[in-house]
Amino acid sequence: MRILVTGGAGFIGSVTAALLLEQDHEVEVLDDLSTGHREAVPGPARLHVGSLHDGGLLDRVFARPFDAVVHFAAFSQVGESVRDPLRYWRNNVGGTIALLARVARGGAGRFVFSSSAAVYGEPPLVPIGEDAPLCPVNPYGRTKLAMEQAIADAAAAAGFAAVALRYFNAAGAWDGRGEDHDPETHLIPRLLRSLLVPGETFAVYGDDYPTPDGTCVRDYIHVRDLAEAHALALAWADGPGVTALNLGTGDGHSVHDIVRAAGRVTGRVVAPPVQPRRPGDPARLVAANRRARDLLGWRPRRSDVDTLLADAWAWHSAHPRGYAG
């Protein structure tokens, strides 16, 4: 297939673009490098540097239609979205609508979208199925839900096939591509960088949650497993409308579990301080993933925490200050 990957200079987009090239697809990347890295884009992919908000650029990119679009480009920091919500609505929702307008005009027949467990908010039942109430609790999650809804309406009206992949916590690294956000808010890169870079700090936020060891429980999914799900979704997508699928392992790991695993994998002493809870952190977020298993035949293969941490540790050890360093 001829595939456009928006956000293909970012963490998950770059690993997915590399996998699609491995599978002999023709890949073009559209990325404004606002949070992504030119070095992450796999060599054979043509890179268009620019924003989804640049209508002229979109016209040029879509001059030749694609078979499929994989849409990663978005801002994704929850705290920043609370402080500056309109920036998130403009970039995430506005950018998606501009892209959908091209797709709906015959720009592509298939559309795979990076959604998020953030669309569920703080669900009453865990593991979380796709039919759980959609009640995001912050502007980032609300933009992801609005993007899903815009995609569903456009796909039904224009007749393209769409899949919304709701990732839980992406982590790990693959083939020279790792997680490099500034600021970094994700647990695993923050923890590993605190072991590598003097002055980088790491703390456990809250150990009095109603979980077995008192710390928050999350479902960590390896970036290569996510990339494989995208490739399977591209092959599977068929017929007008949108299908939402959770991408997680179905296993929850507490912050203390991850800290212990980091000690095992790195051979370092890892003993972070415990600080008070942060507002808005749900106690447990774990995916029910049967739908992705049944429909796509997807199986997470590298998401056991030791493999995931070992891959991330190898990348961060080689890039302690990220791509720029």
Residues lying near ligand NAD in the complex (CB under 6 A) are found at 6-7, 9-13, 30-36, 51-53, 72-74, 76, 91, 95, 114, 116, 167, 169-170, 181
- Which residue in the block uniquely carries the two structure tokens 């559209």? 30
What distance in Å separates the CA atoms of residue 154 and residue 241, rounded to the nearest whole number?
8
* DSSP line for 148-182: HHHHHHHHHHHT-EEEEEEE-EEE--BTTB----S
Min CB(267)–ligand NAD separation in Å: 26
Min CB(115)–ligand NAD separation in Å: 7
Task: Pick the closer one to ligand NAD by CB: 185 or 214.
Answer: 185
SS3 48: strand
Min CB(91)–ligand NAD separation in Å: 5
* DSSP line for 240-306: SEEEEEEES-S--EEHHHHHHHHHHHH-S---PPEEPPPTT--SEE-B--HHHHHHH----SS-SHH
What are phi and psi for residue 312, nearest 5 degrees? -65, -40
DSSP designation for 202: -
Residues linked to residue 287 through DSSP beta bridges, in sequence order: 128
Min CB(203)–ligand NAD separation in Å: 20
Task: Pick the closer one to ligand NAD by CB: 40 or 261.
Answer: 40
CA 246 from chain centre, in angstroms, equals 12
Task: Pick the closer one to ligand NAD by CB: 75 or 238.
Answer: 75
- The closest alpha carbon to 229, from 212, 214, 244, belongs to 244
Task: Pick the closer one to ligand NAD by CB: 75 or 202.
Answer: 75
Task: Pick the closer one to ligand NAD by CB: 16 or 215.
Answer: 16
Residues linked to residue 205 through DSSP beta bridges, in sequence order: 275
Min CB(48)–ligand NAD separation in Å: 9
Min CB(269)–ligand NAD separation in Å: 27
Task: Pick the closer one to ligand NAD by CB: 31 or 214.
Answer: 31
* DSSP line for 50-86: S-TT-HHHHHHHTTS--SEEEE--S---HHHHHHSHH
